[in-house]
Structure 1
């Protein structure tokens, strides 16, 4: 399983450990991923996603998963998140 956030696309970064003697060794910065279950109010069901804690705060800030997905760029979203976004758009279009 790749270490990539399904909503924001946040992934592993690389850098250096720098010692007091200024020796540099390579290291990895891993995103803080958690398995979260979020409620989609448009679809009326819960969705389980592997997202970063930063993305979880962003979802809360945007008043829920539906609003976050509709505002998010497709490049950052995983295939599962894109499928959700498409379902939400379809359901909202049918409601109008």
Structure 2
């Protein structure tokens, strides 16, 4: 499984370790990913996603996974998250 946030698309970045003598060696900056279960009120079930800590704060700020998906861009979402967004939209339209 890739080290990429399923909601925001955040992935590893590269940079340099810089020593006191100013020697540079390449390194990777990995995103702070957590596997969380989020409750979808529209679907009435929990959804497991691998998301970054920043994305989790944004989900809380927007009032849950349903509110986040309403404003999320399709280009940033993983295929699983895109499928979830369509399920939520369909359930909202039916309700």
Tell me the TM-score range normalised by the shorter chain: over 0.9
Instruction: For residue 94 of structure 1, report the CA deviation from its aligned partner.
Output: 1.2
Instruction: For residue 30 of structure 1, report the CA deviation from its aligned partner.
Output: 0.4
The equivalent residue for 1:25 is 25
The equivalent residue for 1:70 is 70
Q: Secondary structure at the match of 1:37?
A: strand
The equivalent residue for 1:56 is 56
Pairs aligned (count): 95
Q: Secondary structure at the match of 1:22?
A: coil
Q: Secondary structure at the match of 1:6?
A: coil
Distance 1:93 1:63 in 2: 19
Distance 1:88 1:37 in 2: 16
Q: Which runs of 4+ in 1 moved over 6 A?
A: none
Q: Secondary structure at the match of 2:90?
A: helix
Cα RMSD between the aligned structures?
0.6
Relative to the length of structure 1, the TM-score reads 0.96
Structure 1's unaligned 5+ residue stretches are: none
- Which residues in structure 2 correspond to 1:1-96 (within 5 Å)? 1-95=1-95
